[in-house]
A and B are shown apart, each in its own frame.
Chain A
Amino acid sequence: MHFVIQNPRLLLHPRSLPLQFIQSKYPRRCLHGAAAASATLCPPAAPVFAVPPTSEILSIRGSLLSGRRKAAEIAGEYLDRLHKVEPQIRSFLHVSETAMREAEELDRMVAGGKELPPLAGVLVGVKDNICTLDMPSTGGSKILEGYRPAFDATAVRKLREAGAIVLGKTNLDEFGMGSSTEGSGFQVTANPWDLSRVPGGSSGGSAAAVSAKQCVISLGSDTGGSVRQPASFCGVVGMKPTYGRVSRYGLMAYASSLDVIGCFGSSVADAAILLNVISGHDRLDSTSSKQEVPDFAKELVSLNNVDSKPLNGLRVGLIKETIGEGVGIGIVSVVKAAASHLEQLGCELTEISLPSFSLGLPAYYILASSEASSNLSRYDGVRYGNQVPTEELSSLYCNSRGNGFGTEVKMRILMGTYALSAGYYEAYYKRAQQVRTLIQKRFKDAMIDNDILISPAAPSAAYKIGEKTNDPLAMYAGDIMTARAKQNRGIGRLVLLSWLSRTVHRGKAACASSCVPLVQEVVQLVVCAVFALTTCLYGCEMSGRMMVAARLVVNVNLAGLPALVLPCGFVEGGSVGLPVGLQMIAGAFNEDKLFRVGHIFEQTLQNCRFVPPICE
């Protein structure tokens, strides 16, 4: 079991905290003695210098403005590091060939005395399911191997307009479907904290790249936790904005009603500056919001200006359902410690219950896979992507898609095709939409009594590569067994058998209509998955850590709310421990609140330095 190796807050009685503690923090950063004193609270493996993260973006800007450094120098430094650790981390699917040239161009601009745009010289990694004009964009799928988009995604266009240099395209689970980046069609990315572990996913490449300082900031996408969970695994800041805050134009759609482009940074300030640049209404995306975009970074006060209780009166709700069964003890301890840290900052902490939380997962799987089955229809090998030439149209579809898509993607297409089939739509999709409305309402209610909600971002720290991919069928089957055992009321065995045989038949039909070749194992997967979902919908508890993992984050996607994940502590694992992320959830379009709270939390968190060993 996990245990807390580091969190001084847990050991400090709140009332024993001296008033000048926070005020003295800033000077403490450069006072060797003070830092050494606090290190006594940490196990030997923990870093001695606990310096709160600072904004890399602002420091690059400062160097360029003062002329201390050149953009080319900075780009060179990042590129060197990128190439140095890339053989171990493998977070990039493509590295820009023009980054150096762009940096030199920028230096000429600086020399010319032109005003610097906000992200001048900042090196950005872009998840490979976000389209970039001058680089391949594959979505991590073989079916799009070598595909080069004809346009920049709106978020990428805004980045470039802000002076950022796109350093490359980062690895992901194929089309964002997965949570370990092992589902990439090309390579497996390693966690910079422990190379034998996964970086999380699906934006694992983006999180690992920021963590390993291969780039300054990066873009990810979050459909069901794909920014937040890898941020937690890699010990970086991850921001999932409100649905509609950032244009989805140019993001390869997985589940259109859930997808958002998110941000990674090594500090809250960097995530805030990045979000500021990419946010705003886009006439190319009708689901993008016209809501005004405040200056997120402006909210982040310097710690010299905060009083002892900078978050005085802020109402924080810790979601009870997220620290219960299935969540590692170590994780729970770290998150509870983080909660008491918030209390010390002046927050009013309460434990709240969101009973609808457990309904979120099956609803999420149905909605996401349904939309995915539709969104991935365009990858048919006719206009672009890999085509398997055949003599006949239907086999052209089946072979191109059969060869191009990976197992997880095929499974979700089949599940979604199945869930949308005539006669099943009402039972699955419509019901899932109702659950979604319910969850939205519950969150809204919870937001009346709370300013922010907190929970872990994942039920465990990063797990070992290969640990969960050996037999997905067994995993699903296992879940069904436990679900079945608990159900017992309702369907009798005979009824169940006939239902299963009908389901297999429907599964075959789904294969045909989804143009994915019929593989017995895959059909079984569909059957199992759909059955699992049904039992869930009928109120059965499911077990399995994967399910718990998804549950922690997908509810936020269903409700469309913004959530910030930031590292808050460590659990045992690897050579120096593994980072744990705290998830903060706010009401729609309240990202500014999250950044403000996150920034103060981050700057006041003691003795935690989230720099992985690979960077030492």
Chain B
Amino acid sequence: MASVLFQAIKSTYLMLYPLNIFNRRHAAPFCTWQYSQIQTKALSEGFQKPNEVQEKSSHSTSRKTPEQILDGFEAIIGIETHVQLSTVTKAFCSCRYLYGSPPNTTICPVCMGLPGTLPVLNSKVVDLAVKLALALNCELSLTSKFDRKQYFYPDLPKGYQISQFDIPIATKGFIELDLPVEFGGGHRRFGITRVHMEEDAGKLLHSETGSYSLVDLNRAGVPLLEVVSEPDMRSGLEAAEYAAELQRLVRYLGVSNGNMQEGSLRCDVNVSVRPSGQSEFGTKVEIKNMNSFSAMSRAIDYEISRQVLLHNQGQSDQIVQETRLWEEGHQKTETMRKKEGLADYRYFPEPDLPEVVLKEEYIENTRQSLPELPEEKRRRYEKMGLNMQDVLFLANDISVASFFDSTLEYGAEAKLAANWIMGDIAAYLKNEHLAIDEVKLTPQELAELIASIKSGTISGKIGKEILFELIAKGGSVKEIIIEKDLVQIVDEGAIEAMVVKVLSENPKQLEQYRGGKTKLQGYFAGQIMEASKGKANPMLLNKILSEKLNSKS
């Protein structure tokens, strides 16, 4: 219906002519943060790319630690993150938003900005904003308001964006995180300046020839939370970890899917450098277009080294306030636009919307309903005696963490459960590109499996077999053991019989053993285990085998 109306009005106007001004919002595909690859890449590749600024650079050698790059300078990094909220309907109208819908199919007169339409706030947006603000340890404004941020662009149907300016819903918070062990580890706390609610704009689809552009308003009016950090980060790694923790947080809270590929989490980074010990900040440069945490880390480290180099070459005046784009292909940042004075958005209070008033009781209820957050989880896991690597792995993904927690509730020992989840289960999931809640294994059965091994009912080897069976087909550990007759043989008589049988079937090897080739015990053990179909208790087997081998000599 909506799309029909839209086209009926003037479909040809969706075509625009070449656009030269503020070329914003590139929506290139994002990829996710993968610890194993990023940092090495960032340090080895990021600074090897020569360009005109870096011709005389000493960075084009091998790996450098961030300390070496900085060379007497300190980098100051602040991040603005746009989090797209996972509400059913848009912020100010009742349109649904589904990523990937055909252009202009999830729109209505309100989000198209037709004459006479008015915004009506979706209360769910406030719920999610309060949740995230509390999770970020913010102070909430009991009364906040919406403002209009005004500029002209074809993806902005009303000519202004409804946002919050001088009174955001939340201010003065912080986020805590643990840096990965492989990069030296460490606990960090970064300040959060503010969190505010706003609406997203549509998208422009530029034609291949560049002769026209199409406007897709599906995304117009989708609710966003903008989270602005304090300039507390000092390296690409810290910045990327900040963003990753924010992603973890919004996923834990169910505030957003945090998906970078779909643009549900978008980061703009401000970077400046200053000589160590100087109190005032250097000129800041904004970097956009980073499609993954990895790209973020590399882009920032690149930008830091570019600025430090200019300082060292006495050309610090060439660091100007500008927006630079991260070029993934060239692994460097390039000027997008220089800022000629500050853009004047002519903010003023949105007269179509009443103030947002929060009651203490509502805030308290929301606070009580918050789930255990990543930081709390990590501290709890740490107290269980898990090492930081395990802690970070388990707490990284909320579905993994809740699987782990649930396994513990069924009585499993933490370290054993962690080993299973991080080992065979994680490997399987990675190979099959599945999430832990997409396989048939349940926490209850994992706990049962661990218990069965511990009690000696099955061997560890059989345990692995059962695990893969459980992952692929489901079912219970007990049933599989009975069905497949996998109970470990602990009857000494039975094992002895198998030993005797194997020894008698291999007289030649027995003779060699007795001739001094004692290494052959392993061969016999293997034969016997095979005969028992892997069910013989390895300890008993070895004990009886030694006895037999040695007693008859």
Contact = CB atoms under 8 A, between A and B. Distances in A.
B148 interface: yes
Looking at chain B's contact residues, the main secondary structure is loop
Contacts of B344: 421-422, 509, 513
A378 B118 contact: no
A397 interface: yes
Contact of A249 (B118, B151, B159, B346): B118
Interface in A334-352: none
B116 A420 contact: no
Contact of A429 (B13, B119, B120, B348): B348
Contact of B159 (A283, A378, A396): A378
Interface string A148-164: 11110100000000000
Interface in A127-160: 130-131, 137, 139, 144, 147-151, 153
A393 B118 contact: no
B107 to A, nearest CB: 10
A454 to B, nearest CB: 29
B117 interface: yes
Contacts of A139: 115
A468 B292 CA distance: 63
B343 to A, nearest CB: 9
Contacts of B157: 378, 382-383
Contact of B118 (A130, A286, A392, A513): A286
Interface in A242-262: 248-253, 255-257
Given A149-B115, A392-B17, A420-B346, A374 B10 contact: no
B352 A151 contact: no
Contacts of B158: 377-378
A383 B109 contact: no
Nearest to B342: A422
Contact of B115 (A252, A283, A396, A420): A252
Interface string B5-19: 110111001101111
Contacts of A256: 351-352
A139 to B, nearest CB: 7
B118 A285 contact: yes
A248 B118 contact: yes
Contact of A392 (B6, B9, B18, B150): B18
Looking at chain A's contact residues, the main secondary structure is loop
Interface in A420-473: 420-422, 425, 429
B391 to A, nearest CB: 46
Interface residues of B, number: 43
Given A249-B116, A250-B116, A286 B352 contact: yes
Interface string A221-249: 00000000000000000000000000011
B353 interface: yes
A417 interface: yes
A397 B120 contact: no
B35 interface: no
Contacts of A379: 115
Interface residues of A, number: 56
Nearest to B353: A286
B9 A394 contact: no
Contact of B114 (A149, A283, A389, A422): A149
Interface string A359-397: 000000000001101101111111110010111111011
A287 interface: yes
Contacts of B353: 286-287
Interface of B: 5-6, 8-10, 13-14, 16-21, 109, 112-121, 148, 150-152, 154, 157-160, 215, 342, 344, 346-348, 351-354
Given A131-B115, A393-B18, 15 more contacts: A130-B116, A137-B115, A255-B351, A285-B120, A286-B118, A287-B353, A376-B159, A382-B157, A382-B215, A383-B114, A387-B13, A393-B154, A420-B347, A421-B344, A513-B346
The 8 A-B pairs at the shortest CB distance, nearest first, are namely: A377-B159, A256-B351, A257-B351, A420-B346, A250-B116, A150-B5, A131-B116, A252-B115
Interface of A: 130-131, 137, 139, 144, 147-151, 153, 248-253, 255-257, 283-287, 370-371, 373-374, 376-384, 387, 389-394, 396-397, 417, 420-422, 425, 429, 509, 513, 515
13 contacts: A137-B115, A144-B115, A149-B109, A150-B109, A150-B114, A252-B116, A380-B154, A382-B157, A383-B14, A392-B20, A393-B19, A397-B152, A422-B346
